[in-house]
Amino acid sequence: MNINGNFRNIKDNYLFADVAKKTAEFAAKNPKADIIKLGIGDVTRPLAPCVVNAMKKACDEMADVKTFKGYGSYDGYGFLRQAIADYYKGRADISADEIFVSDGAKSDIADILDIFSEKNTVVIPDPVYPVYLDTNVMDGREIKYVECNASNDYLPLPDISVKADIIYICSPNNPTGAVYTKDALAKWVKYANENDAIILFDAAYEAFITDKNLPRSIYEIDGAKTCAIEIDSFSKMAGFTGVRCGWTVIPKALTRGGSKLYDMWFRRQSTKFNGVSYIVQCGAAAVFTKDGMKQIKETIDYYHGNAKIITESLDGLGIKYEGGINSPYIWLDCPNGMTSWGFFDYLLANANVVGTPGSGFGKAGEGKFRLTAFGERDRVIEAVERIKRLKF
Amino acid sequence: MNINGNFRNIKDNYLFADVAKKTAEFAAKNPKADIIKLGIGDVTRPLAPCVVNAMKKACDEMADVKTFKGYGSYDGYGFLRQAIADYYKGRADISADEIFVSDGAKSDIADILDIFSEKNTVVIPDPVYPVYLDTNVMDGREIKYVECNASNDYLPLPDISVKADIIYICSPNNPTGAVYTKDALAKWVKYANENDAIILFDAAYEAFITDKNLPRSIYEIDGAKTCAIEIDSFSKMAGFTGVRCGWTVIPKALTRGGSKLYDMWFRRQSTKFNGVSYIVQCGAAAVFTKDGMKQIKETIDYYHGNAKIITESLDGLGIKYEGGINSPYIWLDCPNGMTSWGFFDYLLANANVVGTPGSGFGKAGEGKFRLTAFGERDRVIEAVERIKRLKF
């Protein structure tokens, strides 16, 4: 029996598990501390009423033999795939049969690697959402980093001297909050098409883009359909972190090694997955109704308001940051040259506020810190007041 | 860019996708045909009332900021893991922190392979649930088959001349309906412990066992905790095929290559998965309440009644079969020496009844056919009446 030895090469703990553990330890030692969590990118606002109603209606259908639903389609119900396709209208031309519904973007971003060989070179931004790195280490792929820093506005462009096979792009970026322009994304699309590479485009935060000139989908870029897979989620768009639903787009025109990647992914999903809960899919479809879009916008606006409160306080403190405008994330310089985990401990101990250490997202994140705009308004205001009282 | 070349070695289509396609083609050509599906193992009875109520209550919690739930634990909510642990009481000693909640047994059976190297020899029964085979072909593992046939009562025992690393056991078996005794399972446990092998025990149909002498969990066998991972599901137990929930047990005592497999799987799940819908987990927990257990038993009894109707008609026709007692599956000999797909076509054309061709489960399934007891009572009776009218 041989275990997967690559597991020895990944860090013992997943970043957010570390943050949760440290926070729990602090809480145990300081039972009276009123801890405010602006760390893990978890939403706090309740689901939109039309989503809740749609899910309860689906529950009732499951209680009646005449409307009961067993196994659904491996790629999701047609009503939801069509609603997602319609969501792209006016921005990109995606058809319902290029869409796969899943239990969340994280599952798809990880599992999509099953269709690619271990013999590929992966290009990953640094800092980055840890899943891109850890999943590739588990498979034993060669990894090259492209650094995101203030000198490139946290938005690196292709390095033609590097031969990449799989390229991760997250825009709006987690953790930096930076958003690619169409021109910059077009450079990556050109590079990928010329180098037989695949872009895995993580669009999980696209709903936070308010600037109409910024692309919310990679398919807004000409040529993307022959080089890009896009993964999106209801988690941040509609507060589904605990409901679990996302989707992946694989254009029918996307082939590599003589195979349609759509067909490979369909084979992967039909073999290793049995679809998403009917109840959840009904809730997800409700997001795209007129009421649903209005209701989720109110929540996104609320989070944008939180981001403004945080960034204005950082402005007042003279702390530099990226993001916070077209993104729920604020990526700030730790004050006084503190390390990321040093600032984490300092903030937890002195303000009882939890953030995420930048170094957990990669070497280039050392000395940085991520705050999220997902909190409740009064808690965000309280956190900001506490931070303002600190002496840096 | 290199795609995963192993995909070229798997059949183009997943068995149940083939069955669905052939059925749809027949329906399109024969729009007036009243097709009865006893093919894919999908349930038809509505969810238990207490499950529906628990899920609707959970929907309401998600609508209120005070009770809203975001990300849950990667291994599932404690309330559900404890309820599952309690379900084992009196049969096996499993603790809540040896349990992982998932979106279904299929996902876990497939994904668990991530923690094992490709350099392992896999032993798979033939015939078998296609997922065991296809997932290993995707990874490029060496596969050896053990044949299940009438001469071994469809329950093969270990062959000590074969060095196996990963062993799949499904009991009650899909597709044959055969169930291992404790003595027979003990032989596999002994073999696995002596050969540094791992048993992947698929217990998805354990709730259909009525004979109290038959084991419903591999952990009812001494020594299993050092060699076995068990995967179970709410799909057939409580009609969750469209709701999506299952669980995996990895005992803390289970180590290979110096690593705790529990830790490896936790790392895999926390990296590639974000937990199961809170709403679904609330529904799953309701299954284990007193009302829940009573309500699901009524449905299982109903399916047992269907199985009895099918097996009695086969008895009357002089057709031999396995299963149908402690299992929802009936594994029958195709009449008149027909091939499996030949009988599929014959039955669809002449009785408008859909079953599953035995050959789709492996070479040793040729000439066999699987019927399921999951239909509605009046449809099962109608299907049986039509079959009785056929001339074999």
Using CA atoms, how far apart are residues A247 and A206, in angstroms rounded to an integer? 13
DSSP assignment of A313-337, as one string? HHHHHT--EEESSSSSEEEEEPGGG
CA distance linking residue A383 with residue A370, whole number of Å: 14
A387: contact with B, CB 8 A cutoff: no
> Which one of B56, B197, B275 has the shortest CB-CB distance to A1?
B197
Q: What is the pLDDT at residue B143? A: 96
The answer to whether the CB of B208 falls within 8 A of the CB of B327 is yes
Residue B238 contacts A where some CB pair is shorter than 8 Å: no
Out of A9-18, A137-146, B179-188, B258-267, least confident range: A9-18
pLDDT of A118 above 90: yes
Q: Residue A65 and residue B72: Cβ atoms within 8 Å?
A: no
CB-defined contacts A:B, below 8 A: 248
Compute how many other C-beta atoms are within 10 angstroms of the C-beta atom of residue B21.
11
Torsion-angle region of B336 (φ positive above 0: left; ψ -120 to 50: alpha; else: beta)? left
Percent of chain B at pLDDT exceeding 70: 99
Closest-CA residue to A306 (of A24, A45, A6): A45
Output the pLDDT for position B40: 75
Cross-chain Cβ contact B64/A46 below 8 Å: yes
pLDDT value at A389 more than 90:
yes
* Interface check B63 vs A, CB under 8 A: yes
Spell out which residues of chain B touch residue A376, defining contact as CB-CB under 8 Å.
65
Nearest to B283 by CA among B58, B78, B84: B58
Q: Which residues contact B352 (CB under 8 A, 6 or more apart)?
A: B30, B33, B34, B35, B36, B386
The H or E element that residue A31 is part of is none
Average pLDDT for residues A120-126, to the nearest whole number?
97
Q: Which residues contact B366 (CB under 8 A, 6 or more apart)?
A: B339, B340, B358, B359
pLDDT of residue A13: 67
Q: Do A241 and B63 touch (CB under 8 A)?
A: no
Touching B: A residues 327-356, CB under 8 Å? none
Interface of B with A in 176-215 (CB under 8 A): 196-198
Taking the Cβ of residue A174 and every Cβ of chain B, the question of whether any pair is shorter than 8 Å is answered with no
* Phi and psi at residue B246, to the nearest 5°: -155, -175
Mean of the pLDDT values across residues A234-257?
Answer: 98
Contact call for A68 and B59, based on CB within 8 A: no
Phi–psi pair at B337, nearest 5 degrees: 65, 20
Instruction: Summarize pLDDT for A260-287 with one digit per residue, the tens.
Output: 999 999 999 999 999 999 999 999 999 9
Chain A CB within 8 Å of residue B111 CB: yes
Q: With contacts defined as CB-CB under 8 Å, which chain A residues touch B360?
A: none
Q: For residue range B125-148, what is the model confidence (pLDDT) as tens digits?
A: 999 999 999 999 999 999 999 999
What CA–CA distances, in Å, run from A217 to A184, A237, A296, A340, A388? 13, 14, 19, 31, 37
Query: What pLDDT digit, counting tens, does each position of B318-337 carry?
Result: 999 999 999 999 999 999 99
| Mean predicted confidence (pLDDT) in A233-257 | 98
Write the Ramachandran bin of B318: left for phi over 0, alpha for psi from -120 to 50, otherwise beta.
left
- Taking an 8 Å cut-off on Cβ atoms, the answer to whether A47 and B68 are in contact is yes
Residue A7 three-state SS: helix
Say whether A46 and B52 touch across the interface (CB within 8 A): no
Cα B368 from Cα B361, distance rounded (Å): 10
Mean pLDDT of A227-239: 98
Q: Which of residues 302-331 of A touch B (CB under 8 A)?
A: none
pLDDT for residue B21 is more than 70: yes
- Where does the pLDDT of residue A40 fall: very low under 50, low under 70, confident under 90, or very high at 90 and above? confident
B10/A104 CB distance under 8 A:
no
- ipTM for the predicted complex comes to 0.96
pLDDT (tens digit per residue) in B266-302 = 999 999 999 999 999 999 999 999 999 999 999 999 9
B4 shares contact with chain A (CB less than 8 Å):
yes
Kindly tell me if the per-residue pLDDT of B11 is higher than 90. Answer: no
Beta-carbon contacts of residue A130 (< 8 Å; ≥ 6 apart): A14, A15, A360, A361, B271
C-alpha torsion angle, residues B65, A358, A297, A103 (rounded to 10) = -80
Q: What is the mean pLDDT of chain A?
A: 96
Q: How confident is the model at residue A63 (pLDDT cuts 50, 70, 90)?
A: very high
Residue A22's pLDDT is what? 93
- Pick the closest to residue A178 from A144, A127, A119 (CA basis): A127
Report chain B residues whose CB lies below 8 A from the CB of A14.
Answer: 267, 270-271
Contacting residues for B223 by C-beta, under 8 A, at least 6 apart: B186, B189, B190, B193
Query: What tens digit of pLDDT does each residue of B87-114 get?
Result: 999 999 999 999 999 999 999 999 999 9
Mean pLDDT of B202-225: 98
Check B70 against A44: CB less than 8 A apart: yes
| Residue A250 reports pLDDT greater than 80 | yes
Contact between A120 and B241 using a beta-carbon 8 Å cutoff: no
Evaluate whether A381 touches A306 at the Cβ level (below 8 Å). Answer: no
pTM of this structure: 0.96
Residues of B in contact with A59 (CB under 8 A): 52, 55-56, 59
pLDDT-derived band at A171 (thresholds 50, 70, 90) equals very high
Q: How far is A90 from chain B (nearest CA, A)?
A: 31
- Amino acid residing at A392: F
Q: Report the residue count for chain B.
A: 392
